[in-house]
Amino acid sequence: MTMPETSAPIDEEEAWRAVTGRDRGADGRFVFAVLSTGIYCRPSCPARRPRREGVRFFADGAAARAAGFRACLRCRPDEAARDEAAVLAAIALLRESGESVPLAALAERTGYSPAHFQRLFARLTGLSPAAYARALRQERAAEALSGTGRVVDAIYEAGYSAPSRFYAGADRLGMAPSAWRGGGEGVTIRWAAAPTSLGPLLVAATDKGLCRVSFGEGEAELRARFPKAVLETGGADFTTLVEQVVAAVERPAAMPRLPLDVQGTAFQQAVWRELQRIPPGETRTYAQIAAAIGKPGAVRAAGSANGANPVAVLVPCHRVVRADGSLGGYAWGEEIKRELLRREGGG
């Protein structure tokens, strides 16, 4: 069987890692074909994996069919590109509209049933369509409130129908809406510095959840990040939370789910949610993260969002590596990243 060249170069080592990891984020990026069966599949196909030497990669189903392969009836690889295009079209509509679009309308535009499209959108972006729309409004509000205009004007400009709609979402934002103006104004943050085997760890939290976890920082760095917040040293009742965070550093493979109070744009939130989906002991590339949130062309932006993660370990940005398998950057140092991965069994 002759193998025509694909229309675009494929990094076969990265592609094989995606196949062995059944990475859904790689669906639509390429297909893999099995010589022994004559079938091509999407990377996340649940079927048993063949030997590496018996696999070929193609840019899409058309290229695989031209080489004589037929589509897998189990994973239906030709639908992956259509799924991604539908989600990207819905995201574009949400951005253009500036407000929520009913799920039924999104589904009708893309040709899916509402229930199926809801699952598809959440799988590819990490958010439901409604949550994505809320995040977009919050992002616009954050940008507008960073200026010098009135809060009410900024709220309407962001697409909220009334100020009450914005304030009703304050629990999703964590900090009060006025805190967007700068540095946690009106917010009380308790903090402590705790020793770990990887060095001193700063743990800081509002009454809603952890807002900063970082290595090698202290009160000065926390105050620079939240210059208008009230900082208080955590008391005895803060000890349990600090112990849980330290335990996550010492045993990252058994990481607990702790409450977070973090801020970010819609894009950053999607990246951070996707990071939390990476299982302990596994890694993803920046390209895989970008693809998984429906932004395959935003690899560099995914890297920036990864680096902007305000809570080390709990949002496991250490599980993202470069396409060539090298560690890549880490806000708190390459040695800490390497050790965290080693403890998880992934480095």
- Give the tens place of pLDDT for each residue, 59-110: 888 899 999 999 999 888 887 767 777 888 888 887 777 667 888 888 888 7
Q: What is the DSSP letter of 112?
A: S
Domain residue limits, the chain:
12-76, 79-173, 188-251, 266-344
According to the annotation, is 211 in a ligand binding site?
A: no
User: Which amino acid is it at 69?
Assistant: F
The CATH label, of 1.10.10.10, 3.40.190.10, 3.40.1190.20, 3.40.50.10090, for the domain at 266-344 is 1.10.10.10
Residues labelled as active-site residues: 41, 317
Give residue 136's pLDDT.
67
Right CATH for 188-251 from 3.10.105.10, 3.30.160.70, 2.40.50.100, 3.40.1180.10 = 3.30.160.70
Count CB-CB contacts under 10 A for residue 65. 16
Is 75 annotated to bind a ligand? Reply is yes
Instruction: Specify the 3-state DSSP secondary structure of 32.
Output: strand
Q: Which CATH class is domain 12-76?
A: alpha beta
**What pLDDT, on a 0 to 100 scale, did the predictor assign at position 182?**
58
The predicted pLDDT at position 338 comes to 92
Q: What is the pLDDT of residue 29?
A: 79
The pLDDT score that the predictor gives to residue 167 is: 38
Bridge partners, 191 (sequence order): 204, 233
- What is the model's pLDDT at position 347? 52
Instruction: Assess whether the region 79-173 and the region 266-344 belong to the same CATH fold.
Output: yes
Q: What is the pLDDT of residue 57?
A: 96
Which stretches of the chain drop beneath a pLDDT of 70?
1-8, 25, 81, 98-99, 124-126, 135-182, 346-347
Q: What is the pLDDT of residue 155?
A: 44
CATH number for the domain whose boundaries are 79-173: 1.10.10
Whether the pTM exceeds 0.75: the reply is no
Nearest-CA neighbor of 31 among 8, 53, 51? 8
